Structure 1
Amino acid sequence: MDSHYLLPLAATASLYFGYRLVKKVYEEFTSPLRHLPGPRVPANLLLGHFRKLQNDSTITIKWREEFGANYQFRGLLNERELFTADTKALSHILTNDHIYQKGPVAQKVVRHFLGNGLLAVEMDEHKQQRKITNPAFGVPQIKELTEIFNQKSAELRDIWSNKIENSDSTGSRIDVLLWLRRMTLDVIGLAGFHYEFKALAETDGERNELDQALTRIFHSPEAQRQGMLRVIQAAIPVLGILPEPGGKFIGDARTTMMDIAKKLLEDSKDAIKASGDEMSSVRRDLLSLMVKSNMSKDIPEHLRLSDADVIAQIPTFFVAGHETTSTATALALYALSIHQSVQSKLREELLSLDTDSPTMDELNSLPYLESVIRETMRLYPPVSFTIRIAMEDDVIPLSKPYLDRNGRSYDSISVQEGTEIRIDIAAVHLDKDLWGEDAEDFRPSRWENIPEAASRIPGVWANLLNFLAGPHNCIGFRFSLVEMKSLLFILLRAFEFEMAVPRSDIALSATPVNRPRVLSEPKMGSQLPLIVRPYLES
Structure 2
Amino acid sequence: MVVITISHGRHWYRQRHLRRIPGPPSQSFVFKGNLQQIFSLQGWDFHKRMVQRYGRVVKIWGFFGDAQLHIADSKALYNVLIKDQDIFEETDAFIEANKLFFGPGLLGTLGDLHRRQRKLLVPIFSANHMRYMTPIFYKITHQLEDVLRIKLANGPQEVDMKEWMTRVALEIIGQSGLGYSFETLDESKSNQYAIAVKMLFPAFGGIPVLRKLLPYLCNLGTPSLRRFAVRFLPSKSVQLLIKATNTMDEMSRNIFYEKKAALKKGDDSVVHQIGEGRDIMSILMRSNLNGDEKDRMPDYELLGQMSTLVFSAMDTTSAALSRIFLLLSLNPEVQDKLRQEIVDARKEYGGDMDYDDLNALPYLEAICRETLRAYPPINQAPRIARRDTILPLRSPIKGSDGSTINEVYVPKNTTVIIGIRTLNTDPLIWGPDAAEWKPERWLSPLPESVTNARIPGVYSNMLTFLGGGRACIGFKFSQMEIKIILSLLIPSFRFSTTEKKTDWLMGIVAFPVVLGSTKPSMPLILTPIEA
- TM-score, shorter chain, exceeding 0.5: yes
Deviations 1:160-192 (A, max 9, x none): 11111113xxx2111101111111111111101
Secondary structure, counterpart of 1:321 in structure 2:
helix
The answer for the alignment partner of 1:305 in structure 2 is: 297
Change (3 A) 1:233 1:172: farther
Cα contact 1:135–1:293 (8 A) shared by 2: no
Q: Which of residues 41, 57, 61 in structure 1 aligns to 2:43? A: 57
In structure 1, give the amino acid aligned to 2:318: S
User: Counterparts of 1:76-475 in structure 2 under 5 Å?
Assistant: 76-95=63-82, 96-167=84-155, 171-203=156-188, 206-218=189-201, 223=203, 225-226=205-206, 228-234=208-214, 246-275=237-266, 283-296=277-290, 299-353=291-345, 354=347, 355-447=350-442, 448-455=444-451, 456-475=454-473
The answer for the alignment partner of 2:504 in structure 1 is: 508
Change (3 A) 1:304 1:438: same
Whole-Å separation in 1 of the counterparts to 2:367 and 2:5: 56
Cα contact 1:133–1:293 (8 A) shared by 2: no
Whole-Å separation in 2 of the counterparts to 1:404 and 1:442: 33
Cα contact 2:98–2:107 (8 A) shared by 1: yes
Change (3 A) 1:22 1:360: closer
Count, aligned residues = 508
In structure 2, give the amino acid aligned to 1:349: E
User: What are the ranges of 5 or more consecutive residues in structure 2 without an aligned counterpart?
Assistant: 221-229
Cα contact 2:57–2:73 (8 A) shared by 1: yes
Cα contact 1:233–1:239 (8 A) shared by 2: no
Q: What's the offset of the Cα at 1:227?
A: 5.3
In structure 2, give the amino acid aligned to 1:440: A
Whole-Å separation in 2 of the counterparts to 1:243 and 1:450: 54
User: What are the ranges of 5 or more consecutive residues in structure 1 without an aligned counterpart?
Assistant: 1-12
Cα contact 2:259–2:270 (8 A) shared by 1: no
Whole-Å separation in 2 of the counterparts to 1:413 and 1:278: 58
Secondary structure, counterpart of 1:156 in structure 2:
helix
Change (3 A) 1:17 1:130: closer
Whole-Å separation in 1 of the counterparts to 2:110 and 2:321: 30
Whole-Å separation in 2 of the counterparts to 1:276 and 1:87: 48
Q: What's the offset of the Cα at 1:32?
A: 2.9
Secondary structure, counterpart of 1:350 in structure 2:
helix
Whole-Å separation in 2 of the counterparts to 1:327 and 1:302: 38
State the superposition RMSD in angstroms.
2.4
The answer for the alignment partner of 2:17 in structure 1 is: 32
Whole-Å separation in 1 of the counterparts to 2:508 and 2:360: 31
The answer for the alignment partner of 1:5 in structure 2 is: none
The answer for the alignment partner of 1:484 in structure 2 is: 482
Whole-Å separation in 1 of the counterparts to 2:419 and 2:211: 18
Deviations 1:192-235 (A, max 9, x none): 121111111133xx42212222333335xxx5741534423436
Cα contact 1:185–1:197 (8 A) shared by 2: yes
Deviations 1:451-478 (A, max 9, x none): 3333322211111111111111111111
Change (3 A) 1:452 1:485: same
Larger deviation, residues 311-320 vs 526-535: 526-535
In structure 2, give the amino acid aligned to 1:207: S
Cα contact 2:493–2:526 (8 A) shared by 1: yes
The normalised TM-score by structure 2 is 0.90
Deviations 1:30-88 (A, max 9, x none): 53311100001223531111211232331223211110111101123331110111111
In structure 2, give the amino acid aligned to 1:139: A
Cα contact 1:385–1:422 (8 A) shared by 2: yes
Whole-Å separation in 2 of the counterparts to 1:224 and 1:295: 35
Larger deviation, residues 433-442 vs 259-268: 259-268
Cα contact 2:73–2:394 (8 A) shared by 1: yes
In structure 2, give the amino acid aligned to 1:511: G
Q: Percent identity?
A: 29
Change (3 A) 1:81 1:25: closer
Whole-Å separation in 1 of the counterparts to 2:318 and 2:26: 38
Q: What's the offset of the Cα at 1:426?
A: 1.6
Which ranges of 4 or more aligned residues in structure 1 deviate by more than 6 Å?
Answer: 238-241, 276-282
Change (3 A) 1:238 1:265: closer
